Homo-oligomer: A and B are copies of this chain.
Amino acid sequence: MDKLIECIPNFSEGRNQETIDGLVETAKGVQGVTLLDHSSDTNHNRSVFTLVGDEDGIQEVAFQLVKYASEHIDMTKHEGGHPRMGATDVVPFVPIKNITADECVEISKKVAKRVNDELDIPIFLYEDSASTPARRNLAKVRKGQFEGMPEKLLQDEWAPDYGERKIHPTAGVTAIGARMPLVAFNVNLDTDDVTIAKKIAKIVRGSSGGFKYCKGIGLMLEDRNIAQVSMNMVNYEGTPLYRTFETIKFEAKRYGVNIIGSEVIGLTPAKALVDVAEYYLQVEDFDYNKQVLENHLI
């Protein structure tokens, strides 16, 4: 079975249809790759592409898209609501099938090197590819944005991982890295007291002592008048969905509150949910790759 990798590059252009069309054409022109989705936001002036492909194809399409963006997007003229530092702002690689997180790190480094060698754009490696803990977090890497990057690159701790300490004049700086697939998972509570959802979010999220691979906040669903624990599961193998679900359930009980439902937003790998079924059905010795029919079809 082929290795399958997902790539979700973010470009700093969400308004100029000609440039967006050019990116789509570029994506479709690479063999071994499928463009699953692309969406553009005019307020953010930003486009997000979702691609999947084999090991060679995904590297080639990532490079070609960064190249096209560097030739058609001028960051000195860019305005938009979303933080950004480059024509191609960020390029994550995500392991989907028959490939490890470590192999995706290697892929991200190969693409980073090629982008810098051939296009002279400085690169920060982030997330699982980060060279220091401080660079794991994209928000920290991007802080200062395009306008602040010339100065930031001169700071001791912010030499790029590839390239010299100066931005590409129009394409800025790009972050490239590997990360696990993200599952957006929300749990709804039968209470209109948002403080309960906030307290529980604090318990389950890694940053405040909860599960390492869970990010979470408490918020109100105003239209339904209920509180919600809204989570990003950034590694569903490290922190499975059922574990946060059961924890929210027993923590909510302290307040006499029950779970009334949950939401999985957008795309999820099947395995994130099959793992949940295995837990609840107490399945012994299940081999996901061999026993799930669809894995023999991809």
Report how far A34 CA is from B260 CA in the complex, Å: 43
Q: Which of B6, B34, B262, B298 contacts A283 (CB 8 A)?
A: B262
Binding site secondary structure of chain A: mixed
A263, B284: Cβ atoms closer than 8 Å: yes
Report how far A297 CA is from B269 CA in the complex, Å: 11
The closest CB in chain B to the CB of A294 belongs to B270
Question: What chain B residues lie within 8 Å of A264 (beta carbons)?
Answer: 281, 283, 286, 291
- The reply on A203 being an interface residue by CB < 8 A is no
Distance in angstroms from A246 CB to nearest chain B CB is 10
Question: What chain B residues lie within 8 Å of A260 (beta carbons)?
Answer: 282
Question: What chain B residues lie within 8 Å of A278 (beta carbons)?
Answer: 273
Instruction: Produce 1/0 per residue, A152-167, CB < 8 A to B.
Output: 0000000000000000
Distance in angstroms from A184 CB to nearest chain B CB is 10
The closest CB in chain B to the CB of A4 belongs to B297
- The reply on A52 being an interface residue by CB < 8 A is yes
- The reply on A276 being an interface residue by CB < 8 A is yes
Closest 5 CB pairs of A and B: A276-B277, A273-B277, A280-B280, A270-B270, A261-B284
List 19 A–B pairs whose Cβ atoms lie within 8 Å, in order of A's numbering.
A36-B296, A52-B297, A96-B294, A181-B293, A245-B281, A263-B283, A263-B285, A264-B281, A264-B291, A267-B292, A267-B296, A268-B293, A270-B274, A270-B294, A273-B277, A277-B280, A294-B294, A294-B298, A297-B298
